[in-house]
Chains A and B, each alone.
Chain A
């Protein structure tokens, strides 16, 4: 590992840590504007993190070490996920660990811990949220894998860096398999990131919550880490989507000029994606929880179609 690669990796991490809350703020801003409300500042999520880190952390008496450790584990998983997805450059030191299946595993690990922690203190909403989180997760995961396998088939590798560089250097052509996979990926991302129509990040109704119900008992720095992890997850998913379906402008690690160019390109792509997400959340209503399996089954079906189209037609 050379110094340059190490620095590029550090830059990618720092970018993720700062850009992730800003992306959340950007989506919130656009959602407010689209609903004719005056929007909070772009930096509001960062301010909230700042506030939460300074606040007292209150723990339930019955909380086990698992509950205490979960925020750190979840945060680490999401940070690692954001680091291994080629956001700015493809040939980073961690690129060798950046396997598509490992990425799905990382998300699964985080989900496992966040759900266990929610059930740990024994409040009814924690159990309720954990149950629903697992329902969404076990349906979303196979669909996500199908999307990644389609991309792997195209580039003959499950390494994310290879997938991105081979997709990025391919001449511009709309592959039907990637189109199917793109729709499937969008649906999975909405579900996995607890957005409308699957979950409502803005709700205060504890009975309808999925993701928020898991965090109800957390406070102070633990809550800050969980919130940060949630925005990192959204960032990671967005970057994964951009890397798979819009892979242009990602730099090679040793090319400083390209690296300097990669950041504005990434920000521009995320900005457009964020507006799209806000638009989806403004137009759609939240669906009944038992429609979620149908929704994710459709995503899985599209993922399988993408795989079959690629496998059988090679297109």
Chain B
């Protein structure tokens, strides 16, 4: 993407996604952010790297998206300086990413309003930074509790309800601090990072050819999206292309992943509305679908099936026929269940107006993905920047402006039915040929980026190669970084018992953002 009116020398990156890379100064960093914001672009991801062993210093990277693709900016940060200009005043979603950069790399966003830790929970000291070369991950560190200053809400009858990180059910860890009056929520503050695994650091232990397995484990429900984004980035960096059959199989798996997740979410949304019937029905459909995935690709979630250079699975004619038959059967049942949802007054009473995010708020806060499409943000990489096979599939973009739970349910139903159509079309017109190509050896310093519309939203993976085919720095970005702060807004003015339903209607990733 070209940032208009900015005199920087950017170079076009190889690969399926239109992307440019440019090195900027601190003034240009801010100027670029403002220009992107003015032209309706958005911040996709922000991450930092330690370049001191490479004759440089630290660097901070920002990936912006505009109407003509990605623009990745790199700002060198001198070791003695350790600061860079804050972006959160322009793009609110940058705030948490900047806090994470500080926890991992020790670079401070100069001028940011919120400098509290985000990922660091006392597992390492405040003066240690896991992404710096001198950090010893093997060293023993006693876990030290550190008080975290939550924002206090004062007033007559205001009190706090702390929830999590350990919940009554077996779900992922996250802390939610509600400030309430009676049942009405005045403010919600999220606190995550409990599932931090050190993935960014761990990437450096692998070669570019191996790293897809780690990428596919950032967030289990989106493993295909992550692995595909990683494969795109690796192929861009190596300047190879996957064979057509591999690309179509990737599309098949990504849509299969979307179907499985939407089926699960629709059941869970019914269940959170106290309508257990929906959970039983959708769980059955999801289980049928996952078994078919297992049969077709040898893994229920299709983990490790998308690899740099192609795919590690192939489907025969019998499987193609059963994909078509099963998707039709599920579509019939899904349509019936949609009618039941639509006509169930009790359920609609829970869904309609709950957790509303207006298109205006969504645009200001940068809501993306599925939740964005339910709030009038018509962004879908499969349509906006289609990679094969989407170039030949004419994907119908779902979209609503309601912004409430009901709209997010409707978008899920629409996307589910569209994906069921897509898997049938892919299965019917799968090109013949090889499914994998040999990978060349990566050149040190080569950079590639991958960008894929997962079921939750856009997943970005950026890889920089180091010596000996290894990864110097790889970063995987989950769309939940953008969407979690919006949940804090969605719940405002709603009542406490509606939160689980509203939260489920977004169904954002904990593991994916905790890194």
Contact = CB atoms under 8 A, between A and B. Distances in A.
Interface of A: 31, 34-37, 124-125, 128, 196-197, 200, 202-209, 212, 216, 281-291
Contacts of A208: 272, 497, 500
B276 A284 contact: no
Given A285-B275, A286-B273, A36 B499 contact: no
Nearest to B272: A205
Interface stretch (B46-54, B148-156, B277-285): B277-285
A206 to B, nearest CB: 4
Contacts of A282: 276-277
Given A205-B500, A284-B274, A36 B281 contact: yes
Contact of B277 (A35, A197, A289): A35
Contacts, number: 82
A285 B346 contact: yes
Interface string B143-186: 00000000000000000111100011100000000000001000
B294 interface: no
27 contacts: A35-B281, A36-B280, A124-B160, A124-B163, A128-B161, A128-B496, A196-B274, A202-B276, A203-B274, A205-B168, A205-B500, A207-B500, A212-B168, A283-B277, A284-B274, A284-B275, A285-B273, A285-B275, A285-B346, A286-B273, A286-B346, A287-B274, A287-B346, A288-B350, A289-B183, A289-B497, A291-B349
A202 B272 CA distance: 10
Given A196-B274, A206-B168, A285 B350 contact: yes
A287 B276 contact: no
A288 B497 contact: yes
Contacts of B500: 205, 207-208
A286 B354 CA distance: 14
Given A207-B499, A287-B274, 9 more contacts: A35-B280, A196-B274, A205-B169, A207-B500, A282-B276, A282-B277, A284-B275, A284-B346, A288-B350
Nearest to B284: A36
Contacts of B281: 35-36
Interface string B212-236: 0000000000000000000000000
A223 B159 CA distance: 28
Contacts of A205: 168-169, 272, 500
Contacts of B495: 288-290
Interface in B253-307: 270, 272-277, 279-281, 284
Contacts of B274: 196-197, 200, 203, 284-287
Nearest to A283: B277
Contact of B276 (A31, A204, A288, A291): A31
B169 A35 contact: no
Nearest to A289: B497
B498 interface: yes
B344 interface: yes
Nearest to A205: B500
Contacts of A200: 274
B284 to A, nearest CB: 7
A288 B163 CA distance: 20
A35 B349 contact: no
Interface string B488-515: 0000000111111000000000000000
B379 interface: no
A283 B278 CA distance: 10
Contact of A35 (B167, B276, B499): B276
Interface in B340-364: 344, 346-347, 349-350
Nearest to B354: A288
Q: Which of A125, A281, A288, A289 has the most CB of B within 10 A?
A: A288
A124 B162 contact: yes
Nearest to A284: B346
A203 B169 CA distance: 9
A289 B273 CA distance: 12
Q: Which of A37, A207, A289 has the most CB of B within 10 A?
A: A207
A282 to B, nearest CB: 5
A204 B168 contact: yes
B167 A206 contact: yes
A58 B161 CA distance: 23
Nearest to B345: A285
Nearest to B274: A286
B355 to A, nearest CB: 12
A290 B498 CA distance: 11
Q: Which of B281, B346, B496, B497 has the most CB of A within 10 A?
A: B497
A214 to B, nearest CB: 13
B499 to A, nearest CB: 5
